[in-house]
């Protein structure tokens, strides 16, 4: 039996556009001899659908599209279509909509399986919108029994020694006897996520000795990047198909002839290469889906702006990236030269706008209301001038600003509100500074893209004479380790100190995280690549102590 995996990219709320993709995939799969065509979770509406479900007309649009798919299945007999869609809850109790897998075959709607486990953690908020299923059932197609589940239904894993949910839909189906598991998914990228997906599949396959098919969505939506990489595992627990990462496709596999493609899951992952691809894809998708074509970046001569500019050129092409250098009296000659060298290597257009005269005007205007000292507030004036210039350029030319802050800076507030935090999307806002350096070195492996002088120079905001980041912050290797333990590890100050970190430093970092929550509330969305990124998946009050 041949099964087609429609690893496609939906448009949130655009039912007709998504339906068009369904129609094309049906024709392709039928012509390829597939018996079953499987789409990702909630494909007709897109995931995450969020408050789109509150539009009064949206379920009417979905109902109409489902009917068109039913009629389409009559035109291509002998092939079942398993489509992820919202479905009305016909009961009188609960949420009005369910997240479902709908099966069409020979012009009939033959089966519907609703999602059972509705995640309510990290970036997921399914329970806000959908009514869960209370049961799962096996469906027979062409003489074989299939257990169909939706995304979270396969993730009832151990968390700190306990199950996340009281029921396990995949286990229930397996105990009833199936010939194959199928999971419709919309699973966003994180570090090591592919390995975890394979581990979950392996858990069920080795117990029930049947294949497992996993079809994942592709696309980037603000913070979330859905990386695809649909999977097929045979009854021996061997991975026999891996879909492209961040690429759409309709791949046809033969369920009766599954040969392993890898020995170990880790062989699939080139961590830094995959990370780069995800960030490039996230930038490209954000700009495209926002209706823009070009972006502008402030080039400081530092590693963060160099990385963002390089990623943007990969995403959009050099003709769609503009760099603006905005030197002050504190900018080193090397920073300008390094920025020019970078721009030449990337082939991007640049402009130079000195900010000295504007800064002098601010100083004169503020003399009568400030006490005459020149502290951090005046350093930040420079960043705010630059932010204003970038936003004005973008506004005038119809493009977007990409800010260049990293996770280390966002965490401790080493950034200026309404200055270097201005912009549409933070591409490296979930990368610690040490990760930024590692990525820069990786990107230079096949030829120097980022000048070595940028990588070698001590990080500096260049807002005062001879300034260095480590004048204000702990060394980045020290800072990033503590941040990782506090943010991703959610460890206590005491446990981090007991592991060897300096108590005063850990206290300072913890307090800085808490004190700068108000800044992050006003920051652009951050492309999420870790288990705990700033944004949707991390919720704290600006006024609470966090550790």
**3-class secondary-structure state, position 188:** strand
Query: What is each CA distance from 338 to 306, 335, 345, 442, 531, in whole angstroms?
Result: 9, 5, 11, 19, 34
Angle, CA 245 vertex, CA 241 and CA 247 arms, to 5°: 105
Beta sheet of 400-401, edge-to-edge order? 349-352, 321-325, 295-298, 400-401
On the question of pLDDT at 293 being above 90, the answer is: yes
C-alpha distances out from residue 192 to 213, 271, 412, 487, Å: 19, 8, 26, 17
Coil, strand or helix at 532: coil
Tell me the sheet residues that pair with 226. 188, 219
Query: Percentage of the chain surpassing pLDDT 70?
Result: 97
- Measure the CA–CA gap between 111 and 77, rounded to whole angstroms: 16
- The answer to whether the peptide bond before residue 48 is cis (omega within 30 degrees of 0) is yes
Question: Across the strands, what pairs with 103?
Answer: 82, 111
For residue range 504-523, what is the model confidence (pLDDT) as tens digits?
999 999 999 999 999 999 99
* Residue 115 DSSP label: -
Element (H, E) at 163: strand 162-163
Q: Is 515 exposed, middle or buried (0-12, 13-18, 19+ CB in 10 A)?
A: middle
265 has a pLDDT exceeding 80: no
Nearest to 116 by CA among 101, 133, 99: 133
CA atoms of 75 and 73, how far apart (whole Å): 5
Q: Which domains does the chain have, with CATH numbers?
A: 2-269 (3.60.110.10), 277-520 (3.40.50.620)
- Active site members: 41, 115, 151
Collect all residues with Cβ–Cβ distance below 8 Å to 521 and sequence separation of at least 6.
542
**pLDDT reading at 264 higher than 60:** no
The whole-number pLDDT of residue 292 equals 96
pTM: 0.94
Q: Residue 257 carries which DSSP code?
A: S
DSSP string for 379-446 = HHHHHHHHHHHHHHHHHHHT-EE-----HHHHHHT-S-TTTTT-SS-BTTTTS-HHHHHHHHHHHTTT
Confidence tier at 270 by pLDDT (50, 70, 90): low
Q: How many other C-beta atoms can be found within 10 angstroms of the C-beta atom of residue 121?
A: 10
Can you say how many angstroms the Cα of residue 278 is from the centroid of all Cα atoms in its chain? 8
Tokens linked to 346: 């990337």
Rounded to whole angstroms, the Cα distance separating 379 from 357 reads: 15
pLDDT of residue 507: 96
Strands 231-233 and 212-216, bridge-based pairing: antiparallel
The answer to whether residues 457 and 437 touch, using CB atoms and an 8 Å cutoff, is no
- To 5 degrees, how large is the angle CA 77–CA 81–CA 84? 160
**CB of 512 closer than 8 Å to CB of 411:** yes
Residue pLDDT, tens place only, 448-487 = 899 999 999 888 776 777 778 788 899 999 999 999 999 9
- The closest alpha carbon to 39, from 211, 249, 199, belongs to 249
Percentage of the chain beyond pLDDT 90 is 83
Q: How far apart are CA 135 and CA 173, in angstroms?
A: 10
Of 431, 530, 451, 435, nearest to 489 by C-alpha is 530
Three-state SS letters, 445-485: CCCCCCCHHHHHCCCCCCCCCCCCHHHCCCCHHHHHHHHHH
pLDDT tens-digit series, residues 45-66: 999 999 999 998 999 999 999 9
DSSP state of 426: B
Instruction: Assess whether pLDDT exceeds 90 at residue 92.
Output: no
Read off the pLDDT band of 160 (50, 70, 90). Answer: low
Q: In the structure encoding, which two tokens stand for residue 36, read together?
A: 């079953």
Choose among 304, 316, 392: nearest CA to 349: 316
Q: What are phi and psi of 111, to 5 degrees?
A: -165, 145
pLDDT digits (tens, 9 = 90+) for 396-455: 999 999 999 999 999 999 999 999 999 999 999 999 999 999 999 999 998 889 999 999
- Tell me the CA end-to-end span of the chain in Å, nearest whole number: 55
Mean pLDDT for 115-134 is: 94
- Confidence (pLDDT) at 379: 85
């Amino acid at each position: 039996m041949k099964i087609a995996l429609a690893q496609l990219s939906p448009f949130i709320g655009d039912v007709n556009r998504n339906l068009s993709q369904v129609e094309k995939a049906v024709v392709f799969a039928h012509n390829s001899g597939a018996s079953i065509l499987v789409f990702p979770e909630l494909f007709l509406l897109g995931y995450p659908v969020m408050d789109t479900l509150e539009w009064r007309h949206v379920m009417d649009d979905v109902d109409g599209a489902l009917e068109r798919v039913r009629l389409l299945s009559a035109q291509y007999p002998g092939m079942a279509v398993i489509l992820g869609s919202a479905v009305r809850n016909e009961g009188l109790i609960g949420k009005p909509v369910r997240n479902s897998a709908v099966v069409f075959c020979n012009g009939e709607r033959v089966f519907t399986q609703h999602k059972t486990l509705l995640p309510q953690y990290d970036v997921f908020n399914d329970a806000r919108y959908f009514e869960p299923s209370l049961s799962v059932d096996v469906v027979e197609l062409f003489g074989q029994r299939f257990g169909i589940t939706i995304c979270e239904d396969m993730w009832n894993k151990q968390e700190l020694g306990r199950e996340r949910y009281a029921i396990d839909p995949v286990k229930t189906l397996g105990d009833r006897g199936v010939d194959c598991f199928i999971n419709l998914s919309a699973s966003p990228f994180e570090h090591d996520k592919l390995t975890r997906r394979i581990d979950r599949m392996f858990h069920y396959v080795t117990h029930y000795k049947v294949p497992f098919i996993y079809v994942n969505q592709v696309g980037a939506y603000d913070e979330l990047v859905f990386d695809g990489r649909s999977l097929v595992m045979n009854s021996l627990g061997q991975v026999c198909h891996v879909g492209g990462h961040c690429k759409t496709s309709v791949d046809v596999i033969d369920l009766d002839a599954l040969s392993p493609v890898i020995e170990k899951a880790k062989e699939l992952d080139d961590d830094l290469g995959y990370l780069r691809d995800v960030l490039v894809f996230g930038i490209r998708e954000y700009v495209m889906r926002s209706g823009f074509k070009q972006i502008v970046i402030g080039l400081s001569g530092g590693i963060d702006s160099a990385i963002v500019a390089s990623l943007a050129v990969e995403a959009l092409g050099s003709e769609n990236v503009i760099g603006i250098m905005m030197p002050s009296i504190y900018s080193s000659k090397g920073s300008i030269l390094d920025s020019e060298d970078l721009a030449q290597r990337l082939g991007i257009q640049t402009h130079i706008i000195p900010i000295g005269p504007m800064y002098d005007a601010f100083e004169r205007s503020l003399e009568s209301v400030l006490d005459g000292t020149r502290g951090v507030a005046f350093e930040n004036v420079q960043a705010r001038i630059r932010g204003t210039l970038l936003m004005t350029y973008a506004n005038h030319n119809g493009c977007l600003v990409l800010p260049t802050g990293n996770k280390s800076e966002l965490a401790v507030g080493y950034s200026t509100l309404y200055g270097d935090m201005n912009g549409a999307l933070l591409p490296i806002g979930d990368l610690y500074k040490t990760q930024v350096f590692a990525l820069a070195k990786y990107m230079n492996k096949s030829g120097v893209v980022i000048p070595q002088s940028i990588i070698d120079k001590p990080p500096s905001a260049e807002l005062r004479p001879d300034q260095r980041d480590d004048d204000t912050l702990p060394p980045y290797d020290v800072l990033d380790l503590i941040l990782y333990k506090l943010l991703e590890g959610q460890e206590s100050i005491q446990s981090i100190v007991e592991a060897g970190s300096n108590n005063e430093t850990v206290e300072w970092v913890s307090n800085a995280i808490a004190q700068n929550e108000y800044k992050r509330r006003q920051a652009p969305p951050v492309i999420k690549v870790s288990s705990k990124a700033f944004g949707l998946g991390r919720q704290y009050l600006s006024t609470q102590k966090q550790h």
